[in-house]
Structure 1
Amino acid sequence: MRRSVIALNDWAEHWIVPAGASTVSLLHRDCGSEVRSVVTCASGHEITAPGQVTAVPVPGAKPASATDQPAHGGG
């Protein structure tokens, strides 16, 4: 199963599905334990809160201009 599907399932279980109302469990075929996604930095530290991550521009990145922004439809 793709990592993105596992991560989306974890997100839904945390933010959308009421406690105890899960409709599916993702299980490891070899041992039967539940599968979960874990986010780590390249040094192996587990990231457990959004505040632990900072977005920084890569070298050579240019700031977006007003013309780079997507158009918003009216309506």
Structure 2
Amino acid sequence: MKWLEMSTENCTVQRTLDLVGEKWTLLILRDAFNGVRRFDDLRRHVGLSEAVLADRLRKLVAAGILKTVPYQEEGSRTRQEYRLTGKGRDLWPVIVALRQWGETYVGSPEGPMLDIRHSDCGSAVRVVVECVEEHAALSPREVTVRPGPGARPRE
């Protein structure tokens, strides 16, 4: 079965994009990875309306990507912080890959906004696709893609 003969209704890329494929959702995740946890801080930094932010946060919590944790500042009512779950932290390579591509093709002439380095040795961090046996970085031309067990014929 070839790609165009397969149904895409159970495609994991499509399912992932259904959860995190909106621009604002990815920007919320970017900020969450950089330690922004509170609604007002997210709204101010990402620059979107309260309604849109509330909707995206609700979806991310429902999907198990973020969780809410109560906090209370002195003299104020209890509010919720939004923290990444394990499922959410597993999206970090996706955000780093988007940043890496952006720095290469649409980056600022002044250089990157963020400089991501390995804490132990100080080297720059990058995302690669590698073979699990040889641990070597691969290009799309060096891989073979075949239908998996979840592939279904297109109707």
Task: Normalising by structure 2, report the TM-score.
Answer: 0.34
Question: Which structure has greater helix proportion?
Answer: 2
- Which residue number corresponds to residue 98 of structure 2? 8
Q: What is the DSSP-based 3-state SS (H/G/I as helix, E as strand, rest coil) of the residue aligned with 1:17?
A: coil
Question: Which structure has greater strand proportion?
Answer: 2
Q: What is the DSSP-based 3-state SS (H/G/I as helix, E as strand, rest coil) of the residue aligned with 1:13?
A: helix
Q: CA deviation at 1:40?
A: 0.3
Task: Normalising by structure 1, report the TM-score.
Answer: 0.60
Distance in 2 between residues matched to 1:53 and 1:63, nearest whole Å: 22
Question: Which residues of structure 1 form unaligned runs of 5+?
Answer: 66-75
Question: Which residues of structure 2 form unaligned runs of 5+?
Answer: 1-32, 34-91
The reply to whether residue 51 of structure 1 matches residue 152 of structure 2 is no
Q: What is the DSSP-based 3-state SS (H/G/I as helix, E as strand, rest coil) of the residue aligned with 2:97?
A: helix
Residues 8, 60 of structure 1: alpha-carbon distance in 2 compared, 3 angstrom cutoff? closer
- Which residue number corresponds to residue 113 of structure 2? 23
Find runs of 4+ consecutive structure 1 residues off by over 6 angstroms.
none
* % identical aligned pairs: 34
Distance in 1 between residues matched to 2:107 and 2:125, nearest whole Å: 17
Q: Quick one: higher RCO (CA 8 Å, sep 6+), 1 or 2? A: 2
The reply to whether residue 41 of structure 1 matches residue 114 of structure 2 is no
Distance in 1 between residues matched to 2:152 and 2:98, nearest whole Å: 31
Q: CA deviation at 1:16?
A: 2.1
Distance in 2 between residues matched to 1:4 and 1:15, nearest whole Å: 17
Q: Match of 1:9, as an amino acid?
A: R
Distance in 2 between residues matched to 1:3 and 1:60, nearest whole Å: 24
Cα shift readout 1:39-67 (whole Å, capped 9, x = no counterpart): 101222321x22223321014622222xx
